[in-house]
Structure 1
């Protein structure tokens, strides 16, 4: 029985495909840790590193294949000239050789019923701070004065409404697109370049697609009413003891 062409090509490019999957995994970690600033940034940094390594590994695995040399060089040049890929590659070099990455970060404190924000107050969130710092800041001011937005749910009332923070991560050079969307788009571009090469080698592959998680789940951090009540009582007590 003849060996499956896809398996033969996959085996010959196994390190490259593995690194592509690793890059995808780091996007998943970005989503999983969307509200934990350090873990989000570390996952982003790892994504940038592995994304650039995909084509580097492909070059190594095709070393000596003169028939594909010119096509590979063309694909690498096309990727490097793509505005998004070029920018992310440069960010990878900064992370590896110069300093940590601090994307633009902002959020909205408010309440939700599980599908979008119903009412909220926008504010910047330090890219080195978790999302919970934003709601704690609002709770502190509510304890000191009043919950003027009426967004602090301190009891489970059956309405399905909960206090929340909706967070956004951005790159200043691409202000209109959320950061995990940028990452997914970049992943697809690099994956397509790899798939094109594999296709020329004889593989039959479908167009690569990275499906992000539901933004109503990823971008929102929802707080238990009991926790909100505890925080409100804590700050009221702290203010009474320290600011009166």
Structure 2
């Protein structure tokens, strides 16, 4: 597996073979398969999160990937919470834990397998090579992701991020919601029965219910509302990152 910290231009003679359409895409798919190899949803979630972390470090311009490294952690936390519900809890009376796990891991895996490969190939080989390979028929990628990678290379970072988020929520997550409609409905009912906000998530790399980014006023079932929530999460992440940098340098 290539070192995620190395970005090679598509016309780099050293990287020419590695960034050919067939070889480059196969290398990326090998990484995806490696992350998804475990049958344990929680271990698979940890591997997915690690892949996002590596790509975020390699290409910090990609705001969507940086946020995904947090959201994937919180997805794993949600999986753990549903499995901790026993027959005496209100949540367990409403939601079947195995069905909840199936729905949550489906979302985690499906988002990763659709977006990560495209972002990783673009990071390794460049947006131009990505588009060239797709247009030649070597492999497929959604046009909105191609546009997002173009915007990323032009420095339009928030535009790129928003394009990915819209594709994620409308084209990828919504079908997952529809596949597990009853389970997600039951999860919402269970969360409503438990004290305090159980739907909002924090920007954190560990399981916590502190410093939540409020989803108030938005309907998690609506993909457009989820895009709006994504923007709230991005704003909080950027704010926390600025605070962290200032704290590290001793300036405020």
Please say whether Structure 1 and Structure 2 have the same fold, judged by a TM-score greater than 0.5.
Answer: no
Q: TM-score under structure 1 normalisation?
A: 0.33
Larger Rg belongs to: 1
With a CA cutoff of 8 Å and minimum separation of 6, indicate the structure with the bigger relative contact order.
Answer: 1
Structure with the larger helix share: 2
Structure with the larger strand share: 1
